[in-house]
Amino acid sequence: MGMCIGPIISTYIAEHLGWQWTFHVAAIVTGVVCFLLIGIRESRPSLILVREVAKLRSETGIDTLKALNPDHTPDLMTFIRLALFRPIQLFFTEPIIFLVSTISAIAFAMVYLFTEALPPVYQSMGFSNESSTLPFLAICIGLVLGLLTRIKDHRKITYAEEQGIVLEPEHKLIGFSIGAPLLAGGLWWFAWTIPPLVDVDHFYWVVSAISLVFIGYSLNEFDTVLGGYLADSYLSFSASGFATLALLRSLLSAAFPLFAADMFEGLGANVASSILAGLATLFCVVPPLFTKYGKQIRARSKFARYSLEVYHENSIEKNGL
């Protein structure tokens, strides 16, 4: 929501106070947050355990008490291998991480693309420079609607716990399964309800804005559900998987705004949006692919298979399911 509200706030600040105040306000907010973080308490379990064991060692006088703490500082070569090369290795060798990282990064970067693409579209419908950013609020509405899916997920997990049913990672893909076709449909809807294809005198702007609600919902589901699926599939290696996702997301988020304006001006808003819609349509293949073959793909992966072994060793699957 911050990504969607940011263009609105920054545009109004730049118009009425000057562009420099965009950075002044950002610095003020960041300063306040940093000040508030001074009082935050440590929450990392391994570090808390180390402190508790140290306290117990002091109280009992038993110097041999030690905590199993994986948060040790590795040597340089180990750091390079784990922090730099393993994420790249996972991206090119693990189908799930490749697809999750690529799709999630594109969906995330699409919001950044809209910061350049949406205002000119709505300016062509008669919006002012400031008000042309207000359609981002429709995306925010879609993001809020994602709470309904989270409630559904919570109920499903609670029911499974009560019934003693073990949920596989593929059982938690409902948001992605709904979001993929809604993203494609929302983008096709948007592509063919904006100028120059439609006459602004006979076609109300709210028709295209409604499609942004579905797009906002879908983008949030992509980010939330795919991140959860990656974590559930690669428990012990999820940090490396998220490093891959974060790197690709940052690269695409930086790149998309660079060509967005030229793309929409050169091809026309309808064709440019249709290209995005076509890409989103290809994503619709992935939810059934993960649902049907996800477990088999994970079983063939040495990284996911090791995580699954740890999963069993910790007695998570008590019902033999």
All residues at 6 or more sequence positions from 308 whose CB lies less than 8 Å from its CB, including other chains:
298, 299
**CA–CA distance, 95 with 192 (Å, rounded to integer):** 34
List, for residues 179-201, the tens digit of each pLDDT value.
999 999 999 999 999 999 988 87
Residue that is written with structure tokens 């716990």 in the block: 161
Which DSSP state fits 81? I
Looking at the domain assignment, is residue 127 inside a domain? yes
Amino acid at 33: V
Q: How many CB atoms lie within 10 A of CB 146?
A: 20
**CA–CA distance, 138 with 105 (Å, rounded to integer):** 21
Residue that is written with structure tokens 């180990």 in the block: 78
b vs e for 173-182, b when ≥16 Cβ sit within 10 Å of the residue's Cβ? bbbbbbbbbb
List, for residues 82-100, the tens digit of each pLDDT value.
788 899 999 999 999 999 9
- CATH number, position 209: 1.20.1250.20
Residue that is written with structure tokens 């904006």 in the block: 194
Helix axes 286-300, 174-191, angle to 10 degrees: 140
Looking at the domain assignment, is residue 73 inside a domain? no
List, for residues 46-55, the tens digit of each pLDDT value.
788 888 998 9
pLDDT band for position 311 (cuts 50, 70, 90): low
Looking at the domain assignment, is residue 264 inside a domain? yes
Give mean pLDDT, residues 161-167. Answer: 89
Number of structural domains in the chain:
1
pTM comes to 0.86
Looking at the domain assignment, is residue 263 inside a domain? yes
Q: How many CB atoms lie within 10 A of CB 318?
A: 9
- Smallest CA-to-CA distance from 284 within 229, 222, 235 is with 222
**Residue 200: helix, strand or coil by DSSP?**
coil
- Let me know: does 308 contact 232? Beta carbons within 8 Å: no
Looking at the domain assignment, is residue 157 inside a domain? yes
Give mean pLDDT, residues 41-69. Answer: 85
Looking at the domain assignment, is residue 44 inside a domain? no
Looking at the domain assignment, is residue 29 inside a domain? no
**Which tokens is 12 given?**
């109004």
- Smallest CA-to-CA distance from 95 within 276, 303, 311, 309 is with 303
From 41-45, 99-103, 228-232, 255-259, the region with the lowest mean pLDDT: 41-45
List, for residues 200-249, the tens digit of each pLDDT value.
877 789 999 999 999 999 999 999 999 999 999 998 788 899 999 999 99
Looking at the domain assignment, is residue 10 inside a domain? no
**Residue 54: helix, strand or coil by DSSP?**
helix
Looking at beta carbons, which pairs linking 76-81 to residues 24 or more positions away fall under 8 Å?
none
Domain ranges, residue 98 = 81-313
**CA–CA distance, 197 with 3 (Å, rounded to integer):** 29
**Size (the chain), residues:** 321
- Let me know: does 53 contact 66? Beta carbons within 8 Å: yes
pLDDT band for position 151 (cuts 50, 70, 90): very high
- Let me know: does 177 contact 105? Beta carbons within 8 Å: no
